[in-house]
């Protein structure tokens, strides 16, 4: 995915709004290098106007050697011949104006084309997004959200989606989807260094052709043997195979959840209308801030948003300082659908809760997720077109 470097949040917001949903932002060249150190699959870097030209050209020089298939785009408020010639000498592939939407999109498209040309069609697979569904509280609707979000994203198979049950001790994704997994994450224990696409495929369980599930271990004791490194390897491998990897989590910042959050492109945080949950969700947001996780890529889901319990949506936003991305109504049909093993987006696509889950899918992935023109074979529009109504939150 694209990475933006700039210390000004306003510049980051402007550029993020033009770029694909998974775009990451860092505030310095050092942080960029640390980020790229673990991610040789980032295909384009935007150096914002607050990165001094000398630093920008030094970075271009360096990345040309260390990551030759990654395009560097220099973004300036003003472009003159001196900047152009310095950029060219340093090996930047594009120089664009901060405000030139068309040029930014064209630069992303050129970067993707070059990436595929240099790394082969498999090189384009990096565009898969990891979406982690998290809440510090149990029973608030994480699994319900994960399952329905994954199904909404898959659109009956138009998108390749994998749902990972990272609630490693008490995961219930499989049962929620009436699946009887023959294999689980447990079989990957110890395979941190061998795990590849072929191996991970053997561990997946297919749900109605449209969705693959990586099920949690059958017994809780396996959790402690699943290392953060294994989680990282699994998610990175899945990201190469799927358009979306949705991760359901346990209600705590355990090491596996933290690793998933660290790898995630988009983070969905689930809250409900009760004060203890909101208190914990606020602490969770602060923790995500401290760890710089999914900054600008967080989506607050308020589940059971219409419960009459003396708190309303506006109060929740005031308490958390975060806008609600999607409210999900309480409905007996949601629970009944789960109990019947046929989640609400499949059981009743017109239900208000199903519409809400589709809204969430659009919010995390961009408008084209529900585009009827999307081809059935899982191909995606160019990333640069995959923006839309993704909400960028600024916490106050």
Subset of 137-196 contacting Mg ion (CB under 5 A): 142-143
- Residue (142 or 380) nearer to Mg ion, CB: 142
**Contact indicator for 329, 305 with CB cutoff of 8 Å:** yes
Q: What angle do CA 271, 272, 276 make, to 5 degrees?
A: 90
Backbone φ and ψ for 245, nearest 5 degrees, come out as: -120, 110
Q: Which of 29, 20, 24 is nearest to 12 (CA)?
A: 24
Q: Which is nearer to ligand ATP, 9 or 341 (CB)?
A: 341
**Among residues 47 and 324, whose Cβ is nearest to ligand ATP?**
324
Find which of Mg ion, ligand ATP, none residue 304 binds, CB within 5 to 8 Å per kind: ligand ATP
Find the part of the chain contacting Mg ion (CB under 5 A) among 136-144, 209-217, 300-308, 317-325. 136-144
Q: How far is the CB of 302 from ligand ATP (least distance, A)?
A: 10
- State which residue, 12 or 214, has the beta carbon closest to ligand ATP: 214
* 272 contributes a contact to Mg ion by CB under 5 A: no
φ/ψ of 164, rounded to 5, equals -105, 125
Closer to ligand ATP at the Cβ: 141 or 217? 141
CB nearer to ligand ATP: give 41 or 165. 165
Question: Whole-number minimum distance, CB 313 to ligand ATP, in Å?
Answer: 14
Give the C-alpha separation, 350 to 341, whole Å: 18
Q: Which residues bind ligand ATP (CB under 6 A)?
A: 135, 138-144, 167, 251, 303-304, 328, 330-331, 334-335, 338, 353
Token match 């203890």: residue? 276
Smallest gap from Cβ 216 to ligand ATP, in A, equals 10
CB of 128 to Mg ion, least distance (A): 23
Pick the closer one to ligand ATP by CB: 112 or 338: 338
240 part of the interface to Mg ion, by CB under 5 A: no
| Shortest reach from residue 352's CB to ligand ATP, in Å | 10
Q: Identify the CA nearest to 15 among candidates 63, 53, 47.
A: 47
Interaction between residue 16 and Mg ion (CB under 5 A): no
Which strands, in side-by-side order, build the sheet including 94-97?
A: 24-26, 2-5, 44-47, 71-76, 94-97
User: Shortest gap between Cβ of 143 and ligand ATP (angstroms)?
Assistant: 3
With CB under 5 to 8 Å by kind, the binding choice for 334 among ligand ATP, Mg ion, none is ligand ATP
Enumerate binding residues for Mg ion (CB under 5 A): 142-143
């Amino acid at each position: 995915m694209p990475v933006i470097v700039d210390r000004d949040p306003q510049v980051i917001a402007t550029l993020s709004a033009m770029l694909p949903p998974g775009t990451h932002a860092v505030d310095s060249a050092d942080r960029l290098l640390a980020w790229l150190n673990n991610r040789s699959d980032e295909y384009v870097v935007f150096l914002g106007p607050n990165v001094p030209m000398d630093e920008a050209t030094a970075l271009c020089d360096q990345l040309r050697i260390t990551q030759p298939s990654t395009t560097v785009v220099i973004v300036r408020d003003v472009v003159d011949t001196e900047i152009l010639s310095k950029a060219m000498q340093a090996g930047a592939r594009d120089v664009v104006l901060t405000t030139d939407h068309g040029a930014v999109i064209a630069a992303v498209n050129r970067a993707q084309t070059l990436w595929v040309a240099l790394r082969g069609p498999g090189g384009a697979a990096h565009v898969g997004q990891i979406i982690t569904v998290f809440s510090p509280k149990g029973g608030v609707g994480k699994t319900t959200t994960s399952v329905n979000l994954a199904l909404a994203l898959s659109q009956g198979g138009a998108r390749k989606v994998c749902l990972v049950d990272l609630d490693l001790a008490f995961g219930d994704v499989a049962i929620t989807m009436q699946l009887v997994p023959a294999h689980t994450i447990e079989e990957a224990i110890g395979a941190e260094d061998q795990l590849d696409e072929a191996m991970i495929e053997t561990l997946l369980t297919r749900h109605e052709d449209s969705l693959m599930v990586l099920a949690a271990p059958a017994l809780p004791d396996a959790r402690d043997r699943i290392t953060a490194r294994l989680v990282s390897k699994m998610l990175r491998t899945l990201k190469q195979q799927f358009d979306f990897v949705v991760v359901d989590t346990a209600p705590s910042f355990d090491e596996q959840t933290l690793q998933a959050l660290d790898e995630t492109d988009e983070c969905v945080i689930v809250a409900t209308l009760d004060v203890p949950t909101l208190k914990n969700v606020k602490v969770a947001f602060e923790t995500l801030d401290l760890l710089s996780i999914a900054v600008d890529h967080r989506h607050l889901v308020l589940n059971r948003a219409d419960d009459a319990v003396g708190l309303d949506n506006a109060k929740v936003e005031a308490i958390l300082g975060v806008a609600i991305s999607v409210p999900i109504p309480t409905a007996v049909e949601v629970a009944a659908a789960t109990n019947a093993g046929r989640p609400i987006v499949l059981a009743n696509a017109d239900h208000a809760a199903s519409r809400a889950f589709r809204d969430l899918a659009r919010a995390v992935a961009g408008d084209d997720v529900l585009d009827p023109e999307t081809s059935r074979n899982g191909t995606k529009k160019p990333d640069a077109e995959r923006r839309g109504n993704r909400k960028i939150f600024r916490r106050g």
